[in-house]
Every structure is written in structure tokens, then in C-alpha cells.
């Protein structure tokens, strides 16, 4: 992997953390303060979907071979989740540019879309890492997870007096992945046919 490619992957991860976690968390708190039901519902759904991204980080820590594939699926689902709901889209379209909360939300949605596509393109440039993350040329994809692993390991040891190992991270990640997809299947078979693309945010 060239230095330019390494830098590009590193930058993709940094941007992902900002736009996938930092900005939506800020918008979520902002929507609660403003009492905006549409944005609050949008972000509530987003956080439910984004659980898969955190699961993928556990799988990256555990060096699960398909962890990068799960990461890309999570970013794509997160992007879809912020565009999917017709009632929220209609509500956001009614606000003009002077309403900063909805304007920022709209800008964030487009930014999230481009970040997710960029992350996918970067991953496709290292296509073999989708199925074999443990190869030497895929090490750059594991570095952010390695830094997170050190933090979690220290916290786990501080609070519980036990070691948080990579096999434990892999087990927790795979178990969480199973539960997540069972929930997603249930939603697809039961709630989606019933509600369609209506989030029912106004009923909350």
C-alpha cells in the first residue's frame, strides 16, 4: 500500500468518526433543546442503525476477516436511514435556510452520503480486505481499531479488573451482529410492510 493510499485511508477514518458520530450527536442534542420532533426522530433512528458501525469496530478489534465488509454495510445503512422517511423529508423541506437546525441537518445528510461513498471507494481499492483483513496490506484498516482497543482494554481493566482481549471483542462483535440482523429482519418483515416509509414522528 502506497503512502498516498495509507494517508487516504487514515483520512477516511477520521472523517467517518466526525460525520458518523460527532456531528449527529451534536445535532441530536440540538434537536432535543429546540424540541424539533422531525430531526429528533431522524437522529433517533440513525443511532439505532449506527449500532452496526460500533459492532464493526469490535469485529475490527477482533480481526474478524469480514469486519471491513460489515463496516461498509453499516455506513451504507446509516446513509439510507437519513434519507428513507417521506414524512421527515417533507417536514425538513418546509423550513427555509434561516432555520439553522434543519439547514445543518440537510448539509450533514449530504456530507454523510459523500463520506460513506468515499469510504466504500477506499475499501474497494483494497478489495481483498473485505474477506481477509489479516493480510499485511490491510494493516492500515486495523490501526484505528487498535487504538480503540487500547482505550477499551484500559477502561475494562480499570472498572472490572479483568483483561479485554481480541477474542472477547470478536465474540461480542459476532454475537451482537447476530442480534442486530435478527432485529433488522423482524423490522423488514413486520414494521416496514405496516408503516412503509412513514416514521410517525408527529405521533411522538
Where do the structural domains in the chain lie, given as residue ranges?
3-203
The grid coordinates of residue 83 equal: 434519507
Q: What global pTM score does this model have?
A: 0.89
Q: Is pLDDT above 60 for 1?
A: no
Phi, psi angle pair for 134, to nearest 5°: -90, 5
- Cα torsion through 183, 188, 194, 199, rounded to 10: 70
pLDDT band at 197 (very low <50, low <70, confident <90, very high): very high
List pLDDT tens digits, range 125-174: 888 889 888 888 888 888 777 777 777 777 777 676 667 788 888 999 99
Cα–Cα distance for residue pair 192/198, rounded to 1 Å:
9
Annotate 58-90 with DSSP letters as a single string: HHHHTT-TTHHHHHHHHHHHHHHHHH--HHHHH
| Residue 119: partners with Cβ closer than 8 Å, 6 or more residues away | 12, 16, 71, 72, 75
Amino acid at each position: 500500500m502506497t503512502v498516498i493510499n495509507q494517508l487516504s485511508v487514515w483520512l477516511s477514518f477520521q472523517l467517518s468518526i466526525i460525520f458518523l458520530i460527532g456531528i449527529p450527536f451534536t445535532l441530536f442534542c440540538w434537536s432535543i433543546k429546540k424540541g424539533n420532533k422531525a430531526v429528533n426522530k431522524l437522529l433517533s433512528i440513525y443511532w439505532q442503525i449506527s449500532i452496526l458501525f460500533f459492532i464493526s469496530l469490535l469485529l475490527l478489534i477482533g480481526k474478524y476477516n469480514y469486519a471491513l465488509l460489515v463496516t461498509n454495510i453499516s455506513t451504507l445503512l446509516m446513509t439510507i436511514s437519513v434519507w428513507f422517511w417521506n414524512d421527515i423529508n417533507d417536514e425538513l423541506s418546509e423550513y427555509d435556510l434561516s432555520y439553522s437546525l434543519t439547514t445543518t441537518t440537510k448539509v450533514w445528510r449530504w456530507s454523510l452520503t459523500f463520506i460513506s461513498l468515499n469510504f466504500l471507494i477506499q475499501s474497494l481499492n483494497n478489495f481483498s480486505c473485505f474477506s481477509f483483513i489479516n493480510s499485511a496490506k490491510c494493516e492500515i484498516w486495523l490501526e484505528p481499531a487498535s487504538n480503540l482497543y487500547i482505550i477499551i482494554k484500559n477502561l475494562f481493566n480499570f472498572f472490572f479488573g479483568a483483561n479485554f482481549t481480541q477474542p472477547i471483542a470478536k465474540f461480542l462483535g459476532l454475537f451482537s451482529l447476530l442480534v442486530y440482523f435478527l432485529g433488522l429482519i423482524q423490522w423488514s418483515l413486520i414494521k416496514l410492510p405496516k408503516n412503509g416509509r412513514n416514521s410517525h414522528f408527529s405521533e411522538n
